[in-house]
Structure 1
Amino acid sequence: MTPPSPPSLSGRKRRRTPTRTQTLKSDRLEAWGLSQVQQRLLVIIGAVAGVLVAAVAIAFAISAIGNDFVPERATAAAVATQPRPDAYRGWISPKLFAPIAESKADPTPLTLKEVFAEKTLKEGRITLKLTAPKLDADCSTVVWGQELADRIAQAGCTQALRAAYLSADGRYVAQYTLLNLRDTASADGLVQSLTAAHRGSWVQVLDSAARLFPSGGHSEASGHAMGHYVGLVWIGRADGAEPGQKDDFVSLSLAVRGAEKAVFRRVVAAGSSAAPAS
């Protein structure tokens, strides 16, 4: 059964675009660079045929970042110096990512070319243009706030990859961050801790995107554990205004998550190496 989308996070009812089909078809997998053999491996890995459908259904639900929870504002000093999202939801890792539950099963470091290979991401009517991808080996340098810095250190973070996106029409801005952690437990703990921690600690804005996430402007975020990885989606209107009836934050969030294709390929690679020879 497809789970319902969560209610609006902004504290008021907003019209969302209709839910799209929640079946992951082969053309989508091919678009992600998976061959026919690799697609079959996804089915073999933990009988994920059903899980894939559920995972995509969840993706649509979690991409509707809003719910009825309105967090308290961070301290005036924190808001004045560091942009952070007004709304956040965290989601633990689905069973689909079991083959990469631990970093030792997926030891090859990530690269910018691998994660941000696509210069343009599209979903519905939204087209995002990539700008300023950056990789940091010292994860503490990509966040502000001691709580988050301590948490990612405890999680064994070895890489942080970030990129900013601007919509083709200039209406929206987004930033995606992918963290390479020790294991699923660490990833799950991090995304859950940010439910409260995002009020006083968050990811640093890339320099090129700083003007697009102004302090005091409205933005929304979500955290997604995927095996030993964590993806942080941060979106907003370029003018900092709250989304209106014509704003499609669902499609905006899904577009940004196109960067996660690299993680799906790693699931296939890890599952392929672990699969018994026929």
Structure 2
Amino acid sequence: MLTDWGFRPEQQRMMVIIATVAGAVVAVVALVVAVGSIGTYSPERQASAAVIGPDAVLPQVFHGWNSPKLFDPLTERSKDGKALTEKEVFGQSELAVSKKLKLKLVAKQLDANCSQALWGENLLQLVSDAGCTQAARGLYASSDGRYVGQYTLLNLKDGQSAGQLVETLKTLYRGGWATPLTSSKASFPGGGYSEAGGYALGHYVGLVWLGRTDGTEPTAKDDFVSLTLALRGAEKAVYRRVVSITGTPS
């Protein structure tokens, strides 16, 4: 075609070289634009078991729930200014799962600095922004020695912050979670399987964490639903605070 247009052989070779170089430049520009559109990589946001290590102590499953209307009187901490006490949250030494099975409190701790009860850069920043002033943790061992559980109650500034924290934890929990308490009577095995749930309760957030002491996944014989309900017995403190504001129903 170039010959028909009257170009000499040396002119044709020059035109091919120019076209090849121009094509390479266009390809490089397109690659730079594509890479730029991908964004930056953040290890914290992309946290996974491979990033934090195979022996990490954190749940493999997490579910979150918004605050029920029952806790609307506790939407603002300004209307519930009295600080939590260890006795208020963990006054019961045992929580009944069934007639034969109980969860026994083996360790408890109330921290005014929430960063002492949690880990993960993004999570710590989130609870700081949420005005977290208290983190109450209780570690439980089942009476049959098969299960371990921890309940954590966070005191945040308002219901919006509590709801946002629970929603964010649906993806953030693999890169930030509650620090487990330690006891010779119970512990979460490193790298073992465990499940967790987050509950917004007005301006509070309750975190339930359960697992088998051998670290294996639950079977049909392991009633994690009943264990979760029992562990949430620590939330009676929050219910009592609702009643203190609204009064006892007639």
Normalised by the length of structure 1, the TM-score is 0.70
Residues 168 and 260 of structure 1: is their aligned pair in 2 closer, same or farther, counting only changes over 3 Å? same
Between 185-194 and 80-89, the greater mean CA deviation after superposition:
80-89
For 1:134-213, what aligned pairs fall within 5 Å after superposition? Answer: 134-208=109-183, 212-213=187-188
Q: Aligned partners of 2:57, 2:185: CA distance in 1, in Å?
A: 8
Partner of 1:235: 210
Letter in 2 for 1:175: Q
> In the alignment, does 2:89 pair up with 1:119?
no
Aligned to 2:78: 104
> Residues of 2 paired with 1:214 and 1:191: CA distance?
25
CA contact (8 A) 1:91 1:191 kept: yes
Which residue identity is paired with 2:71? F
1:265, 1:163 → 2: CA distance? 19
- 2:130 maps to a residue whose letter is A
**What are structure 2's unaligned runs of at least 5 residues?**
1-45
Q: Which residue does the alignment assign to 2:58?
A: 84
Aligned counterpart in structure 2 of residue 74 of structure 1, from 32, 48, 68? 48
CA separation of 1:118 and 1:210: change in aligned 2, threshold 3 A: closer
Q: Distance in 1 between matches of 2:90 and 2:161?
A: 24
> What is the distance in 2 between the residues matched to 1:130 and 1:224?
21
C-alpha displacement at 1:209, in angstroms? Answer: 7.2
Counting aligned pairs with the same residue, the percent is 52
Instruction: Answer with 1 or 2: which has the greater Rg.
Output: 2
2:225 aligned to which of 231, 250, 269: 250
- Rounded to whole Å, the distance in 1 between the matches of 2:118 and 2:103 is 24
CA contact (8 A) 1:212 1:239 kept: no
> How far has the Cα of 1:111 moved from its partner?
0.3
Q: What RMSD over aligned residues (CA atoms) do the two structures have, in Å?
A: 2.0
Kindly state the Cα deviation for residue 126 of structure 1 after the two structures are TM-superposed.
Answer: 2.9
CA deviation profile, 1:142-178 (whole Å, cap 9, x unmatched): 1111011011001100000001000000010000000
The answer as to whether partners of 1:164 and 1:209 remain within 8 angstroms in 2 is: no
Partner SS for 2:152: strand
SS in 2 for 1:239: coil
- 2:106–2:185 Cα contact (<8 Å) kept: no
What is the CA-CA distance between 1:138 and the residue it aligns to?
0.4
Alpha-carbon distance change, 243 to 209 in structure 1, aligned in 2, over 3 angstroms: farther
Q: Deviations over 1:25-51 (max 9, x none)?
A: xxxxxxxxxxxxxxxxxxxxxxxxxxx
Q: Which TM-score applies when normalising by structure 2?
A: 0.77
**1:16-73 Cα distance to aligned partner (Å, 9 max, x none):** xxxxxxxxxxxxxxxxxxxxxxxxxxxxxxxxxxxxxxxxxxxxxxxxxxxxxxxx98
C-alpha displacement at 1:207, in angstroms? 2.3
Contact 1:126 1:252 in 2 (8 A): no
Counterpart of 2:196 in structure 1 is 221
Shift of 1:211: 6.5
CA shift, 1:235, in A, is 0.2
Task: List gaps (5 residues or longer) in structure 1.
Answer: 1-71
Give the conservation status (yes or no) of the 8 Å contact 2:155–2:205: yes
Question: Aligned letter for 1:113?
Answer: K
The amino acid of 2:138's aligned partner reads A
Q: CA deviation at 1:270?
A: 1.3
Contact 1:173 1:238 in 2 (8 A): yes
